[in-house]
Structure 1
């Protein structure tokens, strides 16, 4: 008999106009509180973006509720099984943008975005020699895991992408551009930026890395390392084959690792990759200065 885990993690988004989105956010927060789910849900005039966790019963009720709403009846919801909650708290917040970009042109993904590729199509394109593969996430997410031969973006936040594109990709505007991100939402906007900046052949991995890792045909092939996630799991395995390798390097010694921790110093909390030996050796601090300063404060 199949072992069914007691919890689920739901990942979803949809770009759709939400009238009076702030009032809707307040109503949605009350519903989620009554239901007992936890997670992070962002609601803007342009749509909704959420990741939440709950019991099987709670998540079933949430999906039924959302699919009964005329704005979200066709929204794709990705499901991961889990042994426990993936979040400690619940946040439902109104925002100006679902993905903070602050671009000089307002982009509507329903009007301008890249071609959508299925996991099988994306896998096929990855093996071409004439494509440019752009990771649409932050640099620290790339460092934990990424598609083979993808360009590492030197950005710490998504709003840095337009400048990074202008400074680094001007000589490949005539190339086929492939983009990908965790669940797909960042690429909805990133491909729009690329098209607006003069790129002509731009595609995105439909459903993001999450969908790619669940595809029964590709089984996550050509994704090296693990996928960074913004919840208590921190990382998720994507490549389900024996080709799975570790690409992360320890912050201290460069040894292979896929473990992210927060610096022990409460005034730092830098999230960094660390191997088991260095985690013990440095007591979870990212630098000797953090360790010294933290111990001095505690002894004062």
Structure 2
């Protein structure tokens, strides 16, 4: 029986992943449903995924599952069979296949049980997350984009919106979903007669947000089926006009999938057009920011001259300075 947690260092796991020659497929999926034994479900799924050499980040809760998966292409059908037999609710669950499978996305199997599969901060016991808005396929989304009575609402974080979004979509300026839910109610309090179209990366946040809007008195609520990933895939397959501009941020090693050629963001250091996200190389900072290739050289992959200078110090000195500060920042 396999160990049900990782026992190998991240560095070694990443090196193993990079040395692989077999192509992998990155997929994401979610499903809201009642799980009576999240821990038992998690352990069974962990064993099955280990046997298939799956790398992933999966959150499981009593309300369902939220998963981002990297599976060897030759085992993809076996992976689908595992889902089909793991729980009746996962039979024929919609899989959002990544638009970019040329780059590797995950290098370890990480599966956690949480209170919620997406942290929403909702404590209202009368809230019904199953009463969701109307699903919109890509062609419906495009029709809504031309409707003057429709308002597109981006339910992602600000750094996701910055590099790509639907035409004229409004941003809910926060870094957490739990903060966005009350904010969007306040922002649209005078728009209850409008059509509200919500979207996110793969559908999980905007689906719950649509239920929250309905719960709070909005009547015409819609959300993009499968999120940006499925919208882009279906639009390309059907030759539809692309109403999303830029890049779709993804929470894995790739940090983004190119949707259109437009670059709508700017380097945070010099201001040139750029939508390349990176993390500061100073591991005691690790800030996520946008950096162009010129600034990579100038700052050695760091977010500031301060972090660059600290990165050049001997490792013991870096650690001692961190200990003196008593925090995790650079």
TM-score (norm 1): 0.90
- Equivalent residue for 1:39? 56
* 1:287 aligns with one of 285, 292, 304: 304
Q: For 2:313 and 2:188, how far apart are their aligned partners in 1?
A: 47
1:184 Cα deviation after fit: 0.7
Q: Does 1:89 align with 2:108?
A: yes
1:98 Cα deviation after fit: 1.0
Moved more, 283-292 or 29-38: 283-292
- Equivalent residue for 1:200? 219
- Equivalent residue for 1:70? 88
| Deviations, residues 145-183 of structure 1 (Å, cap 9, x unaligned) | 111111122110111112312442222222211111111
Q: Does 1:257 align with 2:277?
A: no
Q: For 2:186 and 2:315, how far apart are their aligned partners in 1?
A: 45
Q: Does 1:233 align with 2:254?
A: yes
Q: How does 1:1-300 map to 2 (within 5 A)?
A: 6-68=23-85, 69-80=87-98, 82-83=101-102, 85-106=104-125, 107-110=127-130, 112-215=131-234, 216-217=237-238, 219=240, 221-239=242-260, 244-296=261-313, 298=315, 300=317
Query: Normalized per residue, which structure has more helix?
Result: 2
1:58 Cα deviation after fit: 2.3
Q: For 2:102 and 2:313, how far apart are their aligned partners in 1?
A: 39
Q: For 2:315 and 2:74, how far apart are their aligned partners in 1?
A: 45
| Deviations, residues 55-76 of structure 1 (Å, cap 9, x unaligned) | 1122221101212342311311
1:272 Cα deviation after fit: 0.5
Q: CA RMSD in A?
A: 1.9
Residue 139 of structure 2 contacts residue 240 of structure 2 at CA under 8 Å; is this kept in 1? Answer: no
Unaligned stretches of 5+ residues in structure 2: 1-21, 318-330
Q: For 2:91 and 2:36, how far apart are their aligned partners in 1?
A: 16
SS in 2 for 1:277: helix
Q: For 1:289 and 1:84, how far apart are their aligned partners in 2?
A: 31
> Relative to 1, partners in 2 of residues 1:220 and 1:255: Cα closer, same or farther, differing over 3 Å?
farther
Residue 212 of structure 1 contacts residue 219 of structure 1 at CA under 8 Å; is this kept in 2? Answer: no
Count of residue pairs the alignment pairs up: 291
> Relative to 1, partners in 2 of residues 1:70 and 1:274: Cα closer, same or farther, differing over 3 Å?
same
Residue 132 of structure 1 contacts residue 150 of structure 1 at CA under 8 Å; is this kept in 2? Answer: yes
| Deviations, residues 244-283 of structure 1 (Å, cap 9, x unaligned) | 3111211112211121110121111111111111221222
TM-score (norm 2): 0.83
Moved more, 147-156 or 74-83: 74-83
Unaligned stretches of 5+ residues in structure 1: none
Q: For 1:203 and 1:256, how far apart are their aligned partners in 2?
A: 33
SS in 2 for 1:225: strand
Q: For 2:312 and 2:73, how far apart are their aligned partners in 1?
A: 44
